[in-house]
Amino acid sequence: MGRFLVIFLVIISLFVSGCAQEEPKNVVPESQVFAGEVTVEGTVKRYFADSPDRGMNMIDAKVLLEELETNRDQYFLVDIRSREDFEKGYIDSTDLNVAFAQVGYNLDLLPRDKTIVVGCYSGQTAGQVVAALRIAGYDAYSIRGGITGGWINAGFPTVGAPVVDPSAESSGGCG
């Protein structure tokens, strides 16, 4: 009897803590279900089949500029250039700067309810990131020609590292 009670309590506590820790499942969107099957192969097939209709998953710098001005909240802008180059001049509304090789470790930072726009130097590495993200179920585009080749070359504005002031007197509240 006592043992059952213990087991019961263990199960209950697992259930309770299990619920608490539960995260939203990575459900593959319906659009990626190909021939009724959700497989990597199917998703890849769908990626290739659909990409031409989406302009090869690229967005022109000019279109991006306009979109950022009007629909800022719908986009999540990722700059995959090196930190050094990023600091020299980046698009003001950048949401994340992460090197190409680190993208995989930072998938948790990428929103599934926004359009992810990836920018690199010339568009080549961003294109690879976009392909991987799309297969992983994100809605992603790369900046045509990259941030350097597309955006900066077009003369669109970038900003540099902000001037850092020493922070003001802090006066915390009390417990």
Partner 1 sequence: MKKMNRRSFIKLSTVAMAAASGTVYTSKAKWTEAASKTPPSITRSFSVCNSCGNRCNIIAFKRQGRLWRISGNPRDNKTGGKICARGHAYAAMVYDRYRLGTPLKRMSNGFEPISWEQAYEEISDKLKDILRKNGPEAIFWSEYSKPISNFYGARFMAALGSPNWTTHASTCFAARNVGFNHTLGGLPTGDYENTKYVVFIGRAPADGIGTSILKGLPMAKQKGAKVVAVDPRLSYSANSLANEWMAIRPGTDLALLLAWIHIMIKENLYDREFVSKHTVGFSDLEAAVSQYTPAWAAGITGLPEEQISRVVKEMAAAKPAAFVEPGWHAAYGSNYRNSTQTARAIAIINALLGNLNQPGGLCFYSGANLGSLDSSRHQAPPNSPYKRVDGAGVAGKYPLALGSGLHHLLPGLAKEGKFKAGFFYSINPARTVPDREYVVSGYKNLELSVVIDWQFSETAEHVADYILPESHPLERDGIVEPISARMPQVSMQSKAIEPVHPGARGLDRIVTELAQAMGFGRYFDFKLDDLNKAMLFPLKLFPVHLQQRGPQVAGGAWDYGQTMFRTPSGKVELASGTFAEHGFSKVPIWESPLIEPSSGEFRIIHGHQAYLTHSQTINNPYLVSIAKDYHGEAIWINSKKARELGIADGSDVIVSAKGYENKVRCKVTERIHPEAIFVPAGYGSFASKLERGFELGISMNDFVPHASEDISGHAMMQEAVVSIRKA
Nearer to partner 1 by C-beta: 2 or 172? 172
Beta strand 140-143 with 58-59 is: parallel
Q: What is the distance between the alpha carbons of residues 95 and 116, in angstroms, rounded to a whole number? A: 10
Q: Does 16 bind partner 1 (CB under 8 A)?
A: no
Nearer to partner 1 by C-beta: 94 or 122? 94
Nearer to partner 1 by C-beta: 53 or 92? 92
Out of 1, 19, 40, 101, name the contact with partner 1 by CB under 8 A.
Answer: 19
Out of 24, 36, 52, 155, name the contact with partner 1 by CB under 8 A.
Answer: 24
Question: Which segments of 13-80 are extended strands (E)?
Answer: 58-59, 75-79
Closest separation in Å from C-beta 124 to partner 1: 24
- The DSSP secondary structure of 72-137, one letter per residue, reads GGGEEEEE-S-HHHHHHSB-TT--EE--GGGGGGGGGGS-SSSEEEEE-SSSHHHHHHHHHHHHTT
Q: Which residues bind partner 1 (CB under 8 A)?
A: 19-20, 22-24, 76, 83, 92, 94-97, 108-109, 159, 161-165, 167-175
